[in-house]
Amino acid sequence: MRNPLLILFFVMFLVMIGFGIIIPVLPFYAEEIGATPTELGLLMSVYSLMQLLFAPMWGKISDRIGRKPVMLLGIVGLAISFFMMAGAKSLLMLFLARIIGGFLSSANMPTTMAYVADITTPEDRGKGMGIIGAAIGLGFVFGPAIGGVFSKTSLSLPFYLAGFSSLITLMLVLFFLKESSTAESRLGNAKNDTSIWKAFSGNLSILFILQWFISLSLSGLEATFAYFAAKRAGMNITEMGYVFMIMGLAGAFVQGGLMGKLTRKYGEGPVIQGGILVSAVGFALILLVNDFITAAIFLTIFGIGNGVIRPSISSLLTKTSTVGHGSATGLLSSFDSFGRIVGPPLGGWLYSLSIGLPYISGTILSVLAFVLYRVYAIKARQMETV
């Protein structure tokens, strides 16, 4: 297995399998230990908070010492957190596991994206980012299904499986993945040490805000759609699982199979804009859901549009940012996590006001995101002519 993109695909697939395995189990596991609904919410949020705070730091460190050691540390952190949760006897142990896991595993996404930027040409950057996006999507499709099946044997068993999956991932990176950054680039990044927030300067700041909008609206949908579909279409948990599986598979197909062709032919800008418009249409169509078929079709339309945005932003950012790839992708991951922290409670609050509000607001946010990108594109053209 000498193709580094193929190795990275399996690495991120296994990482997300581990995440996905524990998703359907954690609420029941925490409840069995004695967590209240409020404590469960905090348990879910603390992980994203660690990602928000520390992803930029790990990205910057990977610019200075290399991608591989930082990636290995992140995967070790995942394994430790999963095994800690598997053996947890108290709520405090669960919180410690989530904090440690969030702190260390926040290294994985920015270093993987930076690795892709290191090994791809500008023409193939979108393809590389799309392949990683496809791995992430497929991991979230299969992970929860595996967790649900094995949780019937024991609620702690899925956590052990996630831990062993992380150990396999660790071996894959350790023995098959070579360092992507050069000694010269690491030395240059060390000499030109600047604030992480330099990546947020000028016109590029719009791309980070754009990613926050996309993450905010997506996580709001994820937090409320099960309730919406149950009320509007009478769908049960099994049907919801199938709907999200169909959406995930369609998104992964577009990211892994079409992203490269689309960005090479049209460039990242048009793909971002097209993705935003398709997402907006998907959000609006969700309001018309009335059965399983319409839920599957409309959510898949949304998922296809949403799925191409993050890889395209990552690709564009690593092409245009003057800071190290790790610093840029780390800060982008931080904004993504920020959206995932704010989105669920905001979506829940909007749903409590009116069940259609999360999707109306998602449509509005998508329109605002489109306008934001147009502002970015105009400013970028102006800078090129100066």
Rounded to an integer, what distance in angstroms lies between the CA atom of residue 311 and that of residue 321? 15
Q: How far apart are CA 116 and CA 98, in angstroms?
A: 27
How far is residue 302's CA from residue 222's CA, in Å, rounded to a whole number?
12
List the Cα angle 259/132/94 in 5-degree steps.
Answer: 145
Nearest to 143 by CA among 2, 288, 248, 28: 248
pLDDT surpassing 90 at residue 9: yes
Write the pLDDT tens digit of every residue in 30-59. 888 888 877 887 888 899 899 999 999 999
In one letter, which amino acid is 337? S
Select from 38, 131, 356, 50 the least CA-distant residue to 225: 356
State the average pLDDT over residues 292-312.
93
Contacts of 371 (CB under 8 A, 6+ apart): none
* CA angle (326, 202, 182) in 5-degree steps: 25
Question: How many residues are listed for the chain in this entry?
Answer: 386
List, for residues 130-156, the tens digit of each pLDDT value: 999 999 989 988 988 888 888 888 889
Angle at Cα 332 formed by Cα 377 and Cα 178, nearest 5°? 115
Report pLDDT digits (tens) over 332-371: 999 999 998 998 889 889 999 999 999 999 999 999 999 9
User: Measured between alpha carbons, how far is 262 from 265 in angstroms, rounded to an integer?
Assistant: 5
Residue 190 scores a pLDDT above 70 = no
Phi/psi region, residue 38 (left: phi>0; alpha: psi -120 to 50; beta: rest), is alpha
pLDDT of residue 266: 92
Indicate the residue type of 99. I
Q: What is the DSSP string of 186-224?
A: HHHHHHT---GGGGG-GGGHHHHHHHHHHHHHHHHHHHH
Hey, what are 169's tokens?
């991932």
| Measured distance CA(300)–CA(304) in Å, rounded | 6
The CA angle 85-135-251, to the nearest 5 degrees, is 115
Domains of the chain: 1-174 (1.20.1250.20), 201-386 (1.20.1250.20)
Average pLDDT over residues 249-253: 89
Sort residue 321 into left (φ over 0), alpha (ψ -120 to 50) or beta. beta
Percent of the chain with pLDDT over 70: 97
Tens of pLDDT, residues 64-109: 999 999 999 999 999 999 999 999 989 999 999 999 999 999 999 9
d(C-alpha 21, C-alpha 12), whole Å = 14
pLDDT > 90: percent of the chain: 62
- How far apart are the C-alpha atoms of 224 and 231, rounded to whole Å? 11
- What's the rounded Cα separation, in Å, for the pair 79 and 9? 19
- Cα angle 51-375-258, degrees, rounded to a multiple of 5: 65
Alpha-carbon span 47 to 97, nearest angstrom: 9
What pLDDT does 325 receive?
A: 87
- pLDDT, residue 191, reads 61
